[in-house]
Structure 1
């Protein structure tokens, strides 16, 4: 059974200023999602599931359904504020959804096979998809999950600091801890993170999580139980977010599952800021010129 690609595309894009999930970056207006799916099909994925807001479903279908027909199975699931579906009876007022791990739960009825999770607005590179497919078809179990680990220097923006999940990796290549560094940036040739108005260096080969995870469907039940506890504990905190690394940390702490850190040398492209767009466009143009992608991706 081929694995499934689960795309997180329900974010608000507050820093970017528009719906970057369906913004055009390729020579013919291709979205970053287009390149992700193209690489996923080439790597061996058999299905793509979009997690979106329900009000955007027609926008997404208009962009993706026709071009993907006959190439890969597609499905759409919706992230919303309904807590009763998770057995949570209290009312909690929020202006934003509950975060990435909550979004993944929206796909619990749509996925029955090993799957990976990616961000809609991140360009990951073919190598990462190929390595994830290999893991999901040969190594994954309900207690052995994975995460693609990127070199931190290949993930930064030139237009501001970024948050990065900095990974502590064991000698045998397994995740020991993810430490969220909220202000990571370049200082000349060095990479640093800021904390309490001080700067601390990070090694250029430090591995970071870019939210590219590999799971089995058993993860849904575990996450649902954790989310119930999280929602009750944060009923008075409207900004609390239930992130995938929180689930990973819980599984590691309870020794319920391990996470293999699968290294990739791919360069990650991101569009955190509006100013990042021409950089991403230029990077994709170069990949087209180098023959990595055809000029018209779906022709």
Structure 2
């Protein structure tokens, strides 16, 4: 006899834009988000017996996302996601878990004549600030913060050699190469017991400070590390995030290696364009390397012993 192993449902791709206005200064701040909210609980009969009495309509979920954005701050996104998830547990006794994903899209304030403009902004990249929140009756509030689509490149300072060579290996070893990636960095917070604990962390700017620290670590380490491999560079980043943010239990990265290949032009008048003479490269759309890791606090501690 088949049985429902797991189920969740809700609303995805809910786009929200909020303007905060400081009436005293005239300065406005904008936040654009894409929100996904999926609910779990005693909902199996809606699947197995066509019983819609346990279903909170996804249209209602969408409306709740907007209303909570009006009623509460949307920054930091960790706090907004917690408010939203807690609402569903407080309102519907049969809902046991709310899964909230928030993607904050990057709008940067414009500078005009060297001064920040009070209400004009520019989209300066595809980078996003993300939160995955799981709010449950038994597990408290579990938050995972992340930076995604931070595209970086350096034209030197990266090598890759000493790797396994066998009958299938064509890749030459290199002591100097272009390194580029779209950074996906995630750090998991120690579980918060109550919404009040999340509110306190937000008031203390722990979420914002962690995001700023992680972003600075990524940019500085990527730029300055004499990279022996993507694997080693990303591990160094994880170690530093865990060191700087003590409330985080794990830090991890997913990094695609976006290749730029040398182009042999010797066929035309003997032009030298490989090795130390390489100047013109061919960007590759795929295939690409994909490297992942997650480092826990214990692992990072052991690495220093």
How high is the TM-score relative to the length of structure 1? 0.29
> Over alpha carbons, which structure has the higher Rg?
2
Higher RCO (Cα < 8 Å, 6 or more apart): 1
Q: Tell me which protein shows more strand as a share of its residues.
A: 2
